[in-house]
A and B are shown apart, each in its own frame.
Chain A
Amino acid sequence: MTLLAKHSAYKQAYDQLRASGVDPLNVRFDAVTSPTEGVIGGKPMILLGTNNYLGLTFDPDCVDQAVEATRGQGTGTTGSRVANGTYGGHRQLEQALAKFYGRQHGMVFSTGYQANLGVLSTLVGRGDHLMLDADSHASIYDGSRLGHAEVIRFRHNNPDDLYKRLRRLEGVPGDRLIVVEGIYSMLGDTAPLKEIAAVKRETGAYLLVDEAHSMGVLGETGRGLSEAAGVEADVDFIVGTFSKSLGSVGGFCVSDSPDFDIMRIVCRPYMFTASLPPGIIASTLTALDKLQAEPGLRHALMRNAHRLYDGLKAMGFEVGPEANPIVAVAMPDQEVAVMFWKMLLEGGVYLNLALPPATPTNVRLLRSSVSAAHSLAQIDTALAVFGEVGRTLGFLPSGRRRIAGAI
């Protein structure tokens, strides 16, 4: 017996998975050569599962700024924001984010995960009530455990269930904070934010939206689902990440809360970790400029999202409820999911194999995410490989449909 023996059920499941000849949790890229291309096991791949929505990871300006900042300011800050880790760039990025969202305040965290840990554990405390969508990301669940608020889960994307639970709290003291996501990371579905905002107004709760997957993706100017749904005034806090549309790493929160800055001296996941290196800050600032200056990126992204989503759907695959850059295909069981994923790799298409408990309602998913940087030809190639594998596995309901006709 070892200390880790308590995880033996996971080990067994993992061993079983690996026995089938794949290890989707341990993919190693020999090279990643562009936002959409890489090499795995010596084989060139179309990258269709990287959350690189605007394709900015290789943007020459972002790269140049990162290099220049690294040469000028060094590889790391070697300190936390409250000690030696705040440089001009950190404040500049916070101001740029606040301006982009039209908010008074902004705060940068070292990862998106930490942003949720920090914000959720600080905004609400003992005696308060945190209302989480049941399909929330792990960082939201973990943030809820780091604080001391009472945590209540409501049915995924169900404003009536949320309302019912808030109504049950009538007369109970304490603040209420509702937490939802712009686009949910597994199925690519959006929150019914108009309805949720109405519940928030009626019950006097606060509302936080995690726009990790929707920043730069949704909304007229890329501000996310809050903008797309026209309810920005109802959203008290927006949390997001730099590791998707902005192509680097880090997280943030923006708000109009007048005493927002108190978080800087009470929010432990902000205070007790090293701040982002200057190179990351510089490329993120540049990427945020690009996100605003080049709406064409968002249009290309949505064009590609529709091409993949519509194509898969027309072939007879079971996809998520709406066409967004996250396109998930449901698999009937783990064996087929693993085999399908493996054969896609052999066909030169990389995407994420998502298995329970990381998925909602125990579903097995082939989870892809498209990028503005994908060419239509790449999307069509991926569709062709999907169709071929689907037919080989006897998976498509009517095996002989032409893929080109599916768009």
Chain B
Amino acid sequence: MRQNTQLAVVGGTDAEASASMRNEISTIFEEVLGRPVSIRDDTDIVEDLGMDSLGVMNFVMAIEDFYDISIPLDRIAQIQTVADLMAAVESLRAGHAA
């Protein structure tokens, strides 16, 4: 299992950090779905990627492992797009670092 120490977003700009996170998320999507995906900030995770509820759960658990966070159920319910997901991950990581 990968460790979050591999991420090492050190000293980059916000745009670089965000591009880097998008790449990481894209890789996790591909691992869970078992096929290549192309994502943008406004990609709808369920609609555009055709995920069922099990796929979403596996994907969320993989994201949680990778970033060493737990995304509470009410937060998951609010996430629709890739940008929503990135914002949630960002705020949960900030919260736990504090």
With a cutoff of 8 Å between Cβ atoms, the chain A residues found around residue B70 in the complex are: 152, 165, 168-169
Provide the residues of chain B in CB contact with A134, threshold 8 Å: 57
When the two chains form their complex, are residues A153 and B73 in contact, meaning their CB atoms are under 8 A apart?
Answer: yes
Whether B96 and A361, one on each chain, are in contact in the complex, defined by CB atoms closer than 8 angstroms, is: no
CB-based closest 9 A-B pairs: A151-B73, A150-B72, A152-B70, A362-B54, A165-B70, A168-B70, A151-B72, A152-B72, A357-B53
A155 at the interface (CB under 8 A from B): yes
Contact with A along B44-67 (1 / 0, CB 8 A): 000000001110010001000000
Given contacts A357-B53, A361-B54, A362-B54, A168 and B96 within 8 Å (CB-CB): yes
- With known contacts A150-B74, A151-B74, A155-B61, A168–B54 Cβ distance under 8 A: no
CA distance A357 to B96 in the complex (A): 33
What are 5 A-B pairs with beta-carbon distances under 8 A?
A150-B72, A150-B74, A155-B61, A165-B70, A357-B53
Interface size grouping (class) on chain B:
10 to 19
Q: Is A368 interfacial (CB 8 A cutoff)?
A: no
Q: How far is the CA of A150 from the CA of B76 in the complex (A)?
A: 11
Within 8 Å CB of A165, what residues of B?
70
- Give A residues with C-beta under 8 Å from B: 134, 144-145, 150-153, 155, 165, 168-169, 172, 356-357, 361-362
Give Cα A356 to B54, complex, Å: 10
CA distance A235 to B73 in the complex (A): 25
B2 to chain A, nearest CB (A): 14
CB of A154 to closest CB in B, whole Å: 8
Q: Give, as a whole number of angstroms, the nearest-CB distance from B35 to chain A.
A: 18
B69 contacts A168, C-beta separation under 8 Å: yes
CB distance from A8 to the nearest CB of B (A): 15
Majority secondary structure, B binding face: helix
Whether the pair B73, A144 counts as a contact (CB closer than 8 A) is yes
Complex contact B74–A362 (CB within 8 A): no
The answer, yes or no, to whether B68 is at the interface (CB within 8 Å) is: yes
Bound complex: CA A151 to CA B54 (Å): 18
**What separation, in Å, do the CA atoms of A165 and B61 have in the docked complex?**
11
Q: Which of B53, B68, B73, B96 has the most CB of A within 10 A?
A: B73
How distant is B88 from chain A, measured CB to nearest CB, in Å?
Answer: 13
CB <8 Å contact, B73 and A152: yes
Contact with A along B71-94 (1 / 0, CB 8 A): 011100000000000000000000
Q: Identify which of B52, B70, B74, B96 gathers the most chain A CB atoms within 10 Å of its CB.
A: B70
Point out the residue from A152, A153, A169, A362 that lies within 8 Å of B52, measured CB to CB.
A362
In whole angstroms, how far apart are the Cα atoms of A357 and B57 in the complex? 12
| B72 partner residues in chain A, CB cutoff 8 A | 150-152
Closest to B64 in A: A165
B residues less than 8 Å from A153 (CB atoms): 57, 73
Complex-state Cα separation, A134 to B73, whole angstroms: 11
Q: How far is the CB of A98 from chain B (nearest CB, A)?
A: 32
- Measured CB to CB, the nearest residue on chain B to A129 is B72
Tell me, in angstroms, the Cα distance from A151 to B69 when the chains sit together: 13
Q: How far is the CA of A150 from the CA of B75 in the complex (A)?
A: 9
Give the residue name and chain of the A residue nearest to B60 (CB): A153
Complex contacts, B52 vs chain A, CB 8 Å? 362
Minimum Cβ distance to chain B for residue A125 (Å): 14
Give 12 new A-B contacts, CB below 8 A, not counting A150-B72, A152-B72, A362-B54. Answer: A150-B74, A151-B74, A152-B70, A153-B57, A153-B73, A165-B70, A168-B68, A168-B96, A356-B53, A356-B54, A361-B54, A362-B52
User: How far apart are A172's CB and chain B's nearest CB, in angstroms?
Assistant: 8
How distant is the Cα of A134 from the Cα of B72 in the complex, in angstroms?
12
Closest CB-CB distance, B82 to chain A, in whole Å?
A: 21
The CA of A145 and the CA of B70, in the complex, are separated in Å by 17
Cα–Cα distance between A282 and B26 once the two chains are bound (Å): 59
Bound complex: CA A341 to CA B23 (Å): 45
CB A145 to nearest CB in B, in angstroms, measures 8
Residue of A nearest to B76 (CB): A153
Give the Cβ gap from A330 to chain B, nearest Cβ, in Å: 15
Contact residues in B for A362 (Cβ distance below 8 Å): 52, 54
Residue of A nearest to B72 (CB): A150
